[in-house]
C-alpha cells in the first residue's frame, strides 16, 4: 500500500499538481503517466487492492498501452492467451469464431484474459513505482473545484476515519461508476435504450475450448440477453449473464438461484457447465449506459467510467478506461503549463471516448435484434465487412479510414435486411442461419 495517514499527506504533498480520484485502470494509468513526467500526483482509491471486479477480457489494443506503461510482460505473466472471440447461438446451437488475426489492422493479433483483481493491483503498484503518492481504503468525500487561477480542494476519509485534504491545481475524476463529479454536477444522462442487469461469478470445471479456439472468450446469445465465458488461469472460468428487463421480470429466488437457473436454461452454456462448480460469490450489477453532458472544465476532467459507460459485451471497458487515462494524463500535464491548450486536449479526451462508445454501442444496442444476430452468426466478408467487425472486436475503436467502408457496408446491410423483413420478404426466414441473410457470401 501507499501512505495511509493524514499526517503523511499534509507533510508530503498538501498541494500536489494533480489529484486522481479512483485507482482502477483509468486512474492508475493516468497517475503512472503523469508521475513519469515528473508531476506531483496523489492517487486515491476507496477500496483495498486486490479486489474483485469484472471486465476480465482484454483487447489487442490494450497491449500498446501496457507497453508504454512498461508492464507488458507483467500482464502477460498473469494472463491467459486470447486470440479471438467465439459467438454461440442458443437458438440453433451454432458457433462462429472471430479471430483477431482477421482484423483489418493486424499489428496486434491477440490479447489476454486476466483476473481483474490482479491486473488492477498491478497497474496501481506501477503508478506508485513511477512516483505517484497512492492511498487505498480512502474515500473522497468532497471536491470543491477552484475558480480560474485557484486551486481545488479534495477532501477524503481514511479507513480509520482520519480526514485528509489536498489542494491540487488539477483534478482527474476516475471514480468509475460512482461518477463522483458527474453525479454532483447533475450532468449524468442515462441511456434508457440500454437498460440491462448483469449477474456473474467464477466457476471451476467448465469445459474449455481446445485447439485453435483455446483461450477464446465465449459470447453466448441467449433469450433476452447474452452470456460471457472467460477462461482464466488455474482452471477458473468467469461466467456472467447480461439480460434486458424481460429477462428478470417476475423472477424469484436468491441471486445464486437466479444465476444457476439462467445457466440451466441456456443450451450452449449448460453444455459447458455440466460438471462445473461455483467457487465465488454471485455478484450482480445494473448495466445501464450513461454519459456526462459535460466531462471537463476549469481544472478538472472526467475519464473512463466516471465520464461514460456502455454495456461490456465486447470487452471494451478496460481499453476505454486506459485510453482515457493516457489521454487524460496528456491533457492534465499540458493544462498545468498551458491551460488553453490543455482544455482543448481535455475536450478531445471526452470526444474520443464518446465516439468510441458510439461506434461499439451501435452494435451492442442491437445485439438482441434477430437481424443483427443473423449477421453475427452467418458473417459475410463482402466489402471486408467481417474483417471490419473483427477490427472493432479487437479494440480499434478510435476509427480509421481503412475501416470506414467495411463498417458502413455492414450498417447498410443491416438496415437493408431490416427493411426487407418489414416488407415481409424475410418474415418467415429462420433466424441465425446462412439462408436468413441475403448478403451471405
All domains of the chain in start order, with CATH: 6-69+115-190+289-361 (3.50.50.60), 196-286 (3.30.9.100), 367-436 (no CATH)
Helix orientation angle between 385-393 and 339-364, rounded to the nearest 10 degrees:
120
Question: In the block, which residue shows the cell 461514460?
Answer: 308
Cβ partners under 8 Å of residue 304, min gap 6: 22, 24, 25, 26, 27, 174, 176, 320, 321, 324, 325
Q: What is the pLDDT of residue 378?
A: 85
In this prediction, the residues of the chain whose per-residue pLDDT falls under 70 are 1-13, 399, 425-441
238 forms beta bridges with: 202, 230
Alpha carbon distance 156, 146 (integer Å)? 17
Q: Are strands 289-292 and 236-243 parallel, antiparallel or unpaired?
A: unpaired
Alpha carbon distance 42, 133 (integer Å)? 5
Check if the beta carbon of residue 303 is closer than 8 Å to that of residue 26: yes
Indicate yes or no: pTM above 0.85: yes
Q: Is 334 exposed, middle or buried (0-12, 13-18, 19+ CB in 10 A)?
A: middle
Alpha carbon distance 146, 33 (integer Å)? 24
Q: What is the pLDDT of residue 428?
A: 47
Check if the beta carbon of residue 126 is closer than 8 Å to that of residue 134: no
Alpha carbon distance 331, 301 (integer Å)? 9
Cβ partners under 8 Å of residue 180, min gap 6: 21, 22, 140, 143, 173, 306
The alpha carbon torsion through 107, 112, 116, 117 (nearest 10 deg) reads -120
CA distances from 178 to 123, 193, 253, 306, 327 (A): 20, 21, 28, 7, 21
Check if the beta carbon of residue 44 is closer than 8 Å to that of residue 32: no
Three-state DSSP at 256 gives: helix
Three-state DSSP at 39 gives: coil
DSSP string covering 268-327, please? HHHHH-TT-EE-S--EEEE--EEEES--EETTEEE-GGGTEE---TTS-HHHHHHHHHHH
Q: Is 41 exposed, middle or buried (0-12, 13-18, 19+ CB in 10 A)?
A: buried
Alpha carbon distance 73, 67 (integer Å)? 8
Amino acid at each position: 500500500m501507499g501512505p495511509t495517514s493524514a499526517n503523511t499527506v499534509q507533510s508530503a504533498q498538501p498541494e500536489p499538481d494533480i489529484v486522481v480520484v479512483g485507482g482502477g485502470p483509468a486512474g492508475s494509468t493516468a497517475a503512472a503517466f503523469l508521475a513519469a513526467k515528473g508531476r506531483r500526483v496523489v492517487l486515491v482509491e476507496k477500496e483495498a487492492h486486490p479486489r474483485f471486479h469484472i471486465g476480465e477480457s482484454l483487447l489487442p489494443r490494450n497491449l500498446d498501452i501496457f507497453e508504454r506503461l512498461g508492464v507488458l510482460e507483467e500482464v502477460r505473466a498473469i494472463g491467459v492467451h486470447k486470440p479471438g472471440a467465439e459467438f454461440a447461438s442458443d437458438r440453433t446451437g451454432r458457433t462462429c469464431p472471430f479471430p483477431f488475426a482477421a482484423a483489418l489492422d493486424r499489428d496486434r493479433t491477440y490479447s489476454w484474459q486476466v483476473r481483474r483483481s490482479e491486473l488492477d493491483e498491478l497497474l496501481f503498484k506501477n503508478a506508485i513505482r513511477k512516483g505517484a503518492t497512492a492511498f487505498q481504503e480512502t474515500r473522497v468525500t468532497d471536491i470543491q473545484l477552484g475558480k480560474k487561477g485557484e486551486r481545488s480542494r479534495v477532501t477524503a476519509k481514511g479507513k480509520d476515519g482520519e480526514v485528509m485534504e489536498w489542494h491540487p491545481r488539477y483534478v482527474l475524476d476516475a471514480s468509475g461508476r460512482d461518477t463522483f463529479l458527474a453525479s454532483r454536477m447533475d450532468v449524468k444522462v442515462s441511456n434508457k435504450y440500454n437498460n440491462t442487469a448483469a449477474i456473474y461469478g467464477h466457476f471451476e470445471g467448465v469445459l474449455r475450448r481446445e485447439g485453435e479456439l483455446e483461450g477464446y472468450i465465449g459470447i453466448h446469445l441467449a433469450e433476452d440477453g447474452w452470456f460471457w465465458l472467460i477462461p482464466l488461469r488455474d482452471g477458473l472460468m468467469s461466467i456472467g449473464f447480461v439480460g434486458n428487463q424481460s429477462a428478470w421480470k417476475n423472477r424469484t429466488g436468491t441471486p445464486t438461484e437466479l444465476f444457476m437457473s439462467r445457466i440451466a436454461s441456456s443450451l450452449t452454456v449448460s453444455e459447458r457447465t455440466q460438471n462445473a462448480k461455483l467457487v465465488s460469490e454471485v455478484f450482480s450489477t445494473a448495466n445501464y449506459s450513461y454519459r456526462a453532458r459535460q466531462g471537463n472544465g476549469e481544472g478538472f476532467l472526467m475519464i473512463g467510467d466516471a465520464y461514460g459507460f456502455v454495456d461490456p459485451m465486447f470487452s471494451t471497458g478496460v481499453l476505454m478506461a486506459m485510453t482515457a487515462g493516457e489521454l487524460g494524463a496528456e491533457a492534465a500535464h499540458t493544462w498545468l503549463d498551458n491551460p488553453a491548450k490543455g482544455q482543448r486536449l481535455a475536450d478531445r479526451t471526452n470526444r474520443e471516448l464518446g465516439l468510441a462508445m458510439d461506434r461499439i454501442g451501435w452494435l451492442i444496442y442491437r445485439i438482441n435484434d434477430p437481424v443483427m444476430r443473423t449477421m453475427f452468426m452467418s458473417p459475410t466478408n463482402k466489402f471486408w465487412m467481417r474483417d471490419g467487425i473483427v477490427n472493432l472486436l479487437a479494440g480499434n475503436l478510435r476509427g480509421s479510414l481503412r475501416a470506414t467502408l467495411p463498417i458502413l457496408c455492414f450498417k447498410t446491410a443491416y438496415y437493408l435486411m431490416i427493411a426487407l423483413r418489414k416488407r415481409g420478404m424475410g418474415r418467415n426466414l429462420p433466424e441465425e442461419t446462412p439462408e436468413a441473410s441475403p448478403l451471405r457470401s
